[in-house]
Amino acid sequence: MSPKTLEQNPLIKLESLGQSIWLDYIHKNILNSGELRRMIEEDGLSGLTSNPAIFEKAIAEGDDYDEAIQQLALASKTTEEIYRSLVVSDIQEAADLLRPVYEQSEGKDGYVSLEVSPKYALDAYQTIKEGRVLWQMVNRPNLMLKVPGTQACLPAIRQLAHAGINVNVTLLFSLERYCEVAWAYLAGLEDRVAHSLPIDRTVSVASFFLSRIDVLVDSRLEKKMHPGDPQNDVARMLHGQTAISSAKVAYQIFHEIFKGERFQKLKELGAVPQRLLWASTSTKNQFESDIKYVDALIGPQTINTLPLKTFNAYRDHGNPALRLQDDLAHAQQVMEQLAEVGININYITHQLEEEGIQKFVEPFDKLMRTIEAKRVAGKGTP
C-alpha cells in the first residue's frame, strides 16, 4: 500500500480528536536510524513508554549495546551501573527527540517513561529513593517515572508529585485503585501548593492495562459458553467486553474527579489533569480486530501507548472517531453482569496486579543476567 499523506494518516487524526499517541517500545535502532524522529514528525507521535521487558529484548537481541557494555565493563562498572548507564542514555536521547513536542505543548505532552525497578512495587520508600536517583540521572523535564499503582506505592505517587517529579502510574486494572491513584496525585499537588511550589509543570498519567483483563475474564466466560449452561447467553454477550467497558467507566470517573471542586482549585494555579493512558493495547484474541483497543477508546484528554506492531497497524487501517463515551449504559451493564456469571471483578483485578508485577520482575531479572553475561565477556573474564 502506498504511504499515506499527513491528512490521510489515522494516527494524525487522533491528535485532532484530543488523544495523544505514544509508542510502547524503545530500541537503539529506532534512535540511530532516525525512525523515532520520523514517527514524531510524520505520525504525530507525542510520547514513549518503556519497561524492563522492552529493554531486556532490546539488549539481548543483536549487538547494538555490546560495545557500550564492553567499554563500561573495562571501566570496572557493576552490572547495575551498566544497566542504568544504557537505559539512561536511551531515555535521554528519546527525551531530546521529543523535547520540541514538550515545549510546543507547554509541558502537556512529549514525555518518555522509565520504569522504577519493579522489585519495589510493594515498597514506597525504595520506590521514592530510586525514583529520585533516576530523575537526577536522566535530568530531563519531559521524563516520567513509571511507578506501579499498588496500594503500597500510593504514598510514593504522592511524594514524587510533591517533589515535582512526573509520574506514570502503571499496572492499573481496578477502578477503585484508579480513584486512589488520582487522589494521591492531587494530594501531591496540594503538598506543593502548601510549600509555595509551582504545579504547572508537574504532570502525571494513570495507565490502565486493557488486554490482560479480557484474557483472564474471557477464559472464565468460555467455560460457560456452551449449550445447556444456564449462563451461556450472558457469557457470550460479555465475552471480549470487560476491558473496554472498564475503560469507559474509568473515563467517567476521570471527569468526575477532574471537574470537581478539589481539582478546580489546583487548576486555577496551573495544574493539569492526570490523563488516562490506555496500555496493553495489543489484541491477544486472533479472531478480534488488531486495533480493537485503539478504535474503541478515542476521547479527549487521553493517551494510547501502542506496541510497534499495533502502531503500524493503526497507521494502515485505523478508523478514528470519538467513541469513548458511546454506549456508557452498556459499559455499566457489562461491569454489573459479571457478578451474575460468577466473576468477581475485584478478585480478577487483584490477581492481574500481582501477575503484572511478576511479569515485570522476571524480565528485569533476566535483563540483569543478560547484562552480567555481556559484562563478563566484555572484560575478557573466563
Whose CA is closest to 204, among 246, 252, 265, 266? 266
Q: Does residue 63 contact residue 32 with C-beta atoms inside 8 Å?
A: no
Q: Tell me if residue 234 falls in helix, strand or coil.
A: helix
To 10 degrees, the CA torsion angle through 23, 27, 32, 33?
A: -60
At 364, which amino acid appears? F
| Sign for the pseudo-dihedral over CA of 213, 214, 217, 219 | negative
CA distances from 344 to 151, 231, 292, 340 (A): 19, 15, 24, 9
Identity at 55, one-letter amino acid code: F
Q: Smallest Cα–Cα separation from 303: which of 165, 199, 155, 172?
A: 172
pLDDT reported for residue 1: 36
- 141, 148 in Cβ contact below 8 A? no
pTM, full prediction: 0.94
What does the pLDDT read at residue 2?
40
The gap from C-alpha 297 to its chain's centroid, in whole angstroms, comes to 15
| pLDDT of 5 | 57
pLDDT for 52 equals: 85
pLDDT of residue 378: 74
Could you list the active site residues? 146
Q: How far is CA 238 from CA 150, 267, 329, 330, in A?
A: 27, 38, 14, 10
| 10-residue averages of pLDDT along the chain (382 residues) | 63 96 94 96 96 86 89 93 94 98 96 95 97 97 97 98 98 97 98 98 97 96 93 95 98 98 97 97 94 97 97 96 95 96 96 94 91 82 44
What pLDDT does 352 receive? 97
Q: Using DSSP, state whether 271 is helix, strand or coil.
A: coil
Q: CA-CA distance, 347 to 204, in Å (whole number)?
A: 27
**β-strand 204-209 against 275-279: which pairing, if any?**
parallel
Q: Domains of the chain, with CATH numbers?
A: 10-212+247-325+352-379 (3.20.20.70)
Q: How many CB atoms lie within 10 A of CB 347?
A: 9
Report CA-CA distances (Å) from 330 to 36, 264, 339, 340, 352. 39, 30, 15, 15, 24
Listing DSSP states for 100-163 in one string gives HHHHHTTTSS-EEEEEPPGGGTT-HHHHHHHHHHHHHHH--TTEEEEEE--GGGHHHHHHHHHT
